[in-house]
């Protein structure tokens, strides 16, 4: 049961990154690929039916952690206090910017909210990457399972560690590049005209950057967490996920140059999904790694709820998960085809 919930949490977080990731990427590219008000409304029309529904998967991930691994959620919320508040403020700012930018037709008003949307989306890509870097590198867990993090210490990735160091910054840059490329592939699929052309050209360059950064991040991960790769040999899931990521980046890099716009987006989905699945397989059973003493790390087995609680949570999950998947399928089905910018004063 513990292994199942570890996999379900990993699956939920991966789904969130893939789905909200194209929102972040499209937002980060908003000012670059869309030059006129009509083009910017086209970008918002492309992500408009999805962005708020995509965030449900983040809530679902937090809910699963609460019912399955409450100790990890409690330690993480307190330890990443500053980072979580930054994430929340950026999520709020992004949502407000999407909803407010078309309330008035004044150019200054719309430019302000477009800039806020772009900045918040880029910041979220970076913040989530830094969070992943902290999980891989480890945090200063005390013997009682609690920790606190300064914003930075000496940038060495050695104890005492902070939120930012050379490794977490590298992972954050990689995350920004991967999610922005993901957003470019989505826009190339869902838009036409100048936005499509600019998104496609930008995606070609970004997927090259992602392909270059991935090996660098892999080597850096081995440096800061040598034990991470030791379990790969005995975990076929990790090898399959890594192969999926490799195939995905190949399809995305080649497909963005071709005439089938859906192929690079699916390839990018496979890359992100495979990468995060391989990461989860490499970390298992550790949920929070101690940077100074691996024995103090919090594992899924130590942090899990009791068997009765897990069974109850699984029964509710069996009801909610199919509904969420069905909603996602219906929304993509309803909004198939190219996005069309709403008329002035209508929608986004």
Cα diameter, the chain: 60
pLDDT of residue 214: 97
Structure tokens at 103: 């309330």
What span, in angstroms and rounded, lies between the C-alpha atoms of 30 and 222? Answer: 35
Whether residue 251 has pLDDT greater than 90: yes
Tell me what the pLDDT averaged over the chain comes to: 91
Radius of gyration of the chain (CA): 20
Geometric angle at alpha carbon 212, from 251 and 33, rounded to 5°: 70
Model confidence pLDDT, tens digit, residues 300-323: 998 898 888 899 988 988 888 899
Can you tell me which residue has the tokens 């890594």? 242
pLDDT of residue 230: 82
pLDDT of residue 346: 56
pLDDT of residue 348: 60
Whether residue 169 has pLDDT greater than 80: yes
Phi, psi for 129 (deg, rounded to 5): -65, -45
Whether residue 62 has pLDDT greater than 60: yes
Which among 217, 219, 199 is positioned nearest to 207, based on CA atoms?
199
Q: Categorize the per-residue pLDDT at 343 as very low, low, confident or very high, splitting at 50, 70 and 90.
A: low
Outline where the chain has alpha helix (H).
2-28, 30-33, 37-47, 51-54, 56-68, 70-79, 81-100, 107-137, 166-190, 193-224, 236-255, 262-283, 300-303, 307-334
SS3 category, 338: coil
pLDDT of residue 344: 63
Q: Categorize the per-residue pLDDT at 215 as very low, low, confident or very high, splitting at 50, 70 and 90.
A: very high
Whether residue 242 has pLDDT greater than 60: yes
Structure tokens at 10: 């990993």
Whether residue 347 has pLDDT greater than 70: no
Whether residue 345 has pLDDT greater than 70: no
Which of 234-238, 253-257, 269-273 has the lowest average pLDDT? 234-238
- The stretch 323-333 carries a mean pLDDT of 92
- The stretch 19-36 carries a mean pLDDT of 95
- The stretch 328-344 carries a mean pLDDT of 84
- The stretch 261-278 carries a mean pLDDT of 96
Whether residue 116 has pLDDT greater than 80: yes
- The stretch 45-66 carries a mean pLDDT of 91
- The stretch 39-60 carries a mean pLDDT of 92
End-to-end CA distance of the chain: 44
Cβ neighbours of residue 58 under 8 Å, at least 6 residues apart? 16, 20
pLDDT of residue 106: 86
C-alpha of 7 from chain center: 17
pLDDT of residue 300: 92
What span, in angstroms and rounded, lies between the C-alpha atoms of 243 and 220? Answer: 20
Residue 180: Cβ within 10 Å count: 27
């Amino acid at each position: 049961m513990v292994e199942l919930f570890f996999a379900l949490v990993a699956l939920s977080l991966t789904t969130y990154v893939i789905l909200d990731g194209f929102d972040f990427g499209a937002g980060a590219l908003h000012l670059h690929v869309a030059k006129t008000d009509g083009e910017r409304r086209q970008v918002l029309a492309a992500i408009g039916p999805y962005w708020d529904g995509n965030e449900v998967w983040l809530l679902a991930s937090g809910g699963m952690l609460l019912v399955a691994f409450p100790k990890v959620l409690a330690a993480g919320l307190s330890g990443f206090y500053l980072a979580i508040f930054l994430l929340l403020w950026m999520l709020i700012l992004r949502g407000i910017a999407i909803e407010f930018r078309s309330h008035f037709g004044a150019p200054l008003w719309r430019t302000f909210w477009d800039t806020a949307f772009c900045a918040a989306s880029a910041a979220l890509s970076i913040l989530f990457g830094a969070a992943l870097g902290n999980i891989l590198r480890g945090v200063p867990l005390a013997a009682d399972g609690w920790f606190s993090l300064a914003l930075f210490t000496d940038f060495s990735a050695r104890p005492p560690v902070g939120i930012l160091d050379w490794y977490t910054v590298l992972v954050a840059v990689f995350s920004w590049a991967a999610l922005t490329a993901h957003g470019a592939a989505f826009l190339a699929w869902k838009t036409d005209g100048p936005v499509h052309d600019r998104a496609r050209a930008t995606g070609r360059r970004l997927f090259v950057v992602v392909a270059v950064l991935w090996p660098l991040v892999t080597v850096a991960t081995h440096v800061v967490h040598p034990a991470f790769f030791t379990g790969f040999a005995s975990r076929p899931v990790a090898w399959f996920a890594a192969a999926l990521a490799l195939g995905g980046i190949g399809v995305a890099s080649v497909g963005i140059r071709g005439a089938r716009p859906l192929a690079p987006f699916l390839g990018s989905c496979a890359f992100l999904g495979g990468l995060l699945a391989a990461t989860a397989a490499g970390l298992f059973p550790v949920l929070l790694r101690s940077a100074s003493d691996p024995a103090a790390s919090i594992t899924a087995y130590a942090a899990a709820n009791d068997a009765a609680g897990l069974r109850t949570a699984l029964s509710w999950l069996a009801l909610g998960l199919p509904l969420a998947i069905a909603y996602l399928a219906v929304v993509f089905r309803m909004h198939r085809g190219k996005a069309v910018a709403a008329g002035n004063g209508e929608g986004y």
